[in-house]
Structure 1
Amino acid sequence: MLVASLPPRRLGVPVEGARLHFGRADAASGGGTFRTRYLYLEDDPAFELSLWCGTCPFLFERQGGANGTLSAALGVMAVLEGPLEAVDDQVLAPFASLLPEGEFLPLLLEVRPELVAPHDDRDYFSHEQVTTWGTDRFWGLPENPRSFYYRTFETAVSPEAHLYEFVVPLVPPGWNDRVRVTGYRSAMARGVVPTAVALSTLDVCQPATYDESADHHAHWGLTHFLLDGHHKLEAAARSGAPVRLLALVSVDGSLASADDLARLPDLLSRPRGARPAT
């Protein structure tokens, strides 16, 4: 559920000083090379992302660089221990210092996260994605995010497009401090709604060729990579409780047009709805 949206604004620091940044690297493919797109944490790939072509399957796949959180650099912000009501420079500044300089669309959301493991019954990659792209031609298997993640929302964009929303932790929930998770669960049982913060991307992906046997539609993948709130998201998922999420959607880091990004506030205000089975 959308709580508030702000106009796009410039945030971040020069890329050489950013803890997180987007980039591409050469990868071998059949004797040639193609440019693989990554989210980097420091100098190491943390997640492989959807390919720049926009016709390959939507993807966030955990890499070896996703091996720590940014909590130590941020410290504890008291305003995020409850429901954030307004977004101002005081809230944005600590997170902006982690990000690559560019245009960002700030969105304040309220979500009820559902913890998902690869290949389980709610895994997007094993189900919704396979209905459109099928399995990998070489492996004969679905894409594997190699990460636990949270599903939070989905809705129809049009009869030919559907929005799928995900929250992705930088480390597995099993690495979280059990005492802190329990503390947040207790607070949520008393009605407290804490706030998490994420660097987000919107990737719009659709197969280049039509297959009558497939559910051929554009997948709008809205992915929130957690900057703060790993314990809050796990506690909310295990409690069935809501959590607020300040999403800083990177315009430069997304595979979407300016018009697509501008539609996010409206789409996130719509009723939740799964795509009808074909």
Structure 2
Amino acid sequence: MLLDHIYLKITKSDSKLSFTTTGGGNWEVWDRFISYDNEPLFHIGNICGTCAFFFTQIKTDLAGSYTVDSVRNNLANGIETISDDISNQLSAIIPEGEYECLLLEIQPYQTCYNGKRDYFKEEQNPLWDYEDETDETGGIYYRGTDRVISEHEKLFEFFIPLYPPSSLEENRVRFYQEQIREGKQPTALALAVVDAKECMTYMEIPEDGIVSHWTYANYLLDGHHKIQAAAREKKSITLLSFISKDASFKVVDTLVELYKKNN
């Protein structure tokens, strides 16, 4: 559910995060990455509109801060609107560019590659009919709510952690579990990319008619303990999602309208 939305253009940022690309074959730009200090953190897929969606974490020996200390308490307590103060302070850690910033109420559940309710195994592979490109069997991520967009299009929400649940502080997770049980909704923070991937390899239209997957991939900068707590409790928290209009597959405006319509 959409709680608030603003458009934001960041023209001056000291962020160490960036979107980077490399070429492939005859393509000057093919593969895309989220990088930190110019070192790739995540491979976030390619520009091909008919290839399958994928993400893979490259850098795992993580160091440095991916959030802003001055707003940490606000996010821990949960925000209800995207204030100018919050957006201005968080702009310091977001790469320069244009963004649609969505404050969403989400209900995440934990899964893993080749596990129960794994997108790549259960939704993607039957349609594209080839193995995903991550080679990360067992890698943990979270999913949200799937939404039918049209007769042949469907949206899938992903919340992708920098740190696996096994590395989190158990006491901190339990703290947020207690907060959530009391009805509070702490806020996680993510840098996001939206892609529209249409399969062209199927022999016939599948039974549900869906041949185009819109993938809304949120890469968590803050909120790992919160989202784990929400998944355990099977309850909702909020997410402040900075969707890059520059790195996405040109469907961001339609996505925003979809969330507004479904409110």
Aligned residues: 260
Answer yes or no: is 1:265 the counterpart of 2:262.
Answer: no
User: For residues 219 and 243 of structure 1, what CA distance do their matches in structure 2 show?
Assistant: 25
Deviations 1:153-181 (A, max 9, x none): 11111111100001111111211111111
Q: Are the counterparts in 1 of residues 22 and 28 from structure 2 also a CA contact under 8 Å? A: no
Structure 1 partner of 2:179: 187
Gaps of 5+ in 1: 273-278
User: For residues 267 and 19 of structure 1, what CA distance do their matches in structure 2 show?
Assistant: 32
Within a 5 Å distance, the mapping from 1:22-37 to structure 2 comes to 22-26=19-23, 35-37=30-32
TM-score (norm 1): 0.83
Answer yes or no: is 1:241 the counterpart of 2:232.
Answer: no
Within a 5 Å distance, the mapping from 1:1-278 to structure 2 comes to 1-6=1-6, 8-11=7-10, 13=12, 17-26=14-23, 35-64=30-59, 67-68=62-63, 70=65, 74=69, 77-136=72-131, 143-145=134-136, 147-212=139-204, 217-255=211-249, 257=250, 260-268=251-259
1:208 CA drift (Å): 3.8
1:213 CA drift (Å): 6.8
User: For residues 248 and 28 of structure 2, what CA distance do their matches in structure 1 show?
Assistant: 22
1:47 CA drift (Å): 1.1
Q: Are the counterparts in 1 of residues 67 and 93 from structure 2 also a CA contact under 8 Å? A: no
SS at match of 2:221: strand
1:251 CA drift (Å): 0.3
* Percent of paired sites with the same residue: 30
TM-score (norm 2): 0.88
Structure 2 partner of 1:276: none
Task: Identify which range, 215-224 or 72-81, moves more after superposition.
Answer: 72-81
SS at match of 1:264: helix
Residues 209 and 65 (structure 1), Cα distance of their counterparts in 2 relative to 1, 3 Å cut? same
Residues 187 and 105 (structure 1), Cα distance of their counterparts in 2 relative to 1, 3 Å cut? same
Gaps of 5+ in 2: none
User: For residues 168 and 66 of structure 1, what CA distance do their matches in structure 2 show?
Assistant: 16
User: For residues 107 and 81 of structure 1, what CA distance do their matches in structure 2 show?
Assistant: 17
Deviations 1:193-240 (A, max 9, x none): 111111111011112445327566111000111121111101111111
RMSD value, Cα: 2.7
